[in-house]
Amino acid sequence: SQQGEEDPQALSIQEGENATMNCSYKTSINNLQWYRQNSGRGLVHLILIRSNEREKHSGRLRVTLDTSKKSSSLLITASRAADTASYFCATAYYNQGGKLIFGQGTELSVKP
Amino acid sequence: EPEVTQTPSHQVTQMGQEVILRCVPISNHLYFYWYRQILGQKVEFLVSFYNNEISEKSEIFDDQFSVERPDGSNFTLKIRSTKLEDSAMYFCASTQGFSTDTQYFGPGTRLTVL
């Protein structure tokens, strides 16, 4: 299966703490994208990291990519209650067209 | 900021009925996608569409499904005869380039089949 796997499946932290979510994938990729989904709502794009990149930042978000380990991580620093959501990684595999293969997601709960 | 829009936000239908889900992709985008997410499960790819034809479809996308870009702006997903198991959130997405660009998702249509 090419489907990415994320861990942990659920993460509960206090406001102000950092949250780290991990994603693994199976074969070569063009890019990996992280999305946030509030309960029952749409998918909000967070960051895209290409296969030749190792780290990207956007505000309080930091994404890393390790192609040798076929893994990526999303770090949210100084978390807020509003960060409570499900976070998904989605991979665009090399030679698989443009479709995205989503992981199961990490459900993040940030307690005030 | 341009965004992908979808209508309706929620559709309730009886089993066996036809439904059409509508999407307006971002205007200068060229590649269009439909995905679905059954409640509590991961997002699954259904179909990709480029240059007025299907580029790729998953095994979920059987003969009951079809897609169309009837004009320069709309992109539709039709389910000919809905089944209970078609109940899901359906997302449309679009991207400017092929496989290297951000896919922007619409807010989704929640389809409930009774």
Pick the residue from chain A with its C-alpha nearest to B31.
Answer: A98
Chain B hits for A41, CB-CB cut-off 8 Å, are 107-108
From the list B48, B104, B105, the residue facing A98 with the nearest CB is B48
pLDDT digits (tens, 9 = 90+) for B5-54: 999 999 999 999 999 999 999 998 999 999 999 998 899 999 999 989 99
pLDDT digits (tens, 9 = 90+) for A53-93: 999 999 999 999 999 999 999 999 999 999 999 999 999 88
pLDDT at position A97? 77
Pick the residue from chain A with its C-alpha nearest to B89.
Answer: A40
pLDDT at position B40? 85
pLDDT digits (tens, 9 = 90+) for B79-96: 999 999 999 999 999 998
Q: Does A106 touch chain B (CB under 8 A)?
A: no
Tell which of A29, A99, A100, A106 to mutate to test the B interface (max B CBs under 10 Å).
Answer: A99
Chain A hits for B35, CB-CB cut-off 8 Å, are 100, 102
Let me know: does B79 contact B86? Beta carbons within 8 Å.
yes
Q: How many CB pairs under 8 A join A and B?
A: 68
Q: Average of pLDDT values for A6-12?
A: 88
Instruction: Name the band, by pLDDT with cuts 50, 70 and 90, for residue A2.
Output: very low
Place of tokens 């997601």: A105
Q: What percent of chain B has pLDDT over 90?
A: 81
Contact A98 B35 (CB under 8 A): no
Tell which of A43, A56, A95 to mutate to test the B interface (max B CBs under 10 Å).
Answer: A43
Q: What percent of chain A has pLDDT over 90?
A: 76
CA atoms within 13 A on the CB side of A77: 7
Residues 6+ apart with CB under 8 A from B71: none
Q: Please state, in angstroms and rounded to a whole number, the distance separating the CA atoms of residues B76 and B49.
A: 11
Chain B hits for A101, CB-CB cut-off 8 Å, are 45
Instruction: Name the band, by pLDDT with cuts 50, 70 and 90, for residue B3.
Output: very high
User: Which tokens sit at A18?
Assistant: 């950092």
pLDDT at position A4? 64
Q: Please state, in angstroms and rounded to a whole number, the distance separating the CA atoms of residues B33 and B25.
A: 9
CA A71 to chain B, closest CA, distance in angstroms equals 18
pLDDT at position A1? 37
pLDDT digits (tens, 9 = 90+) for A19-58: 999 999 988 888 999 999 998 788 999 999 999 999 999 9
Let me know: does A12 contact A112? Beta carbons within 8 Å.
no
The yes-or-no verdict on residue B98 having pLDDT over 80 is: no
Check residue A96 and report its DSSP letter: B
User: Which tokens sit at A50?
Assistant: 């290409």
Tell which of A100, A104, A106, A107 to mutate to test the B interface (max B CBs under 10 Å).
Answer: A100
Q: Please state, in angstroms and rounded to a whole number, the distance separating the CA atoms of residues A107 and B2.
A: 28
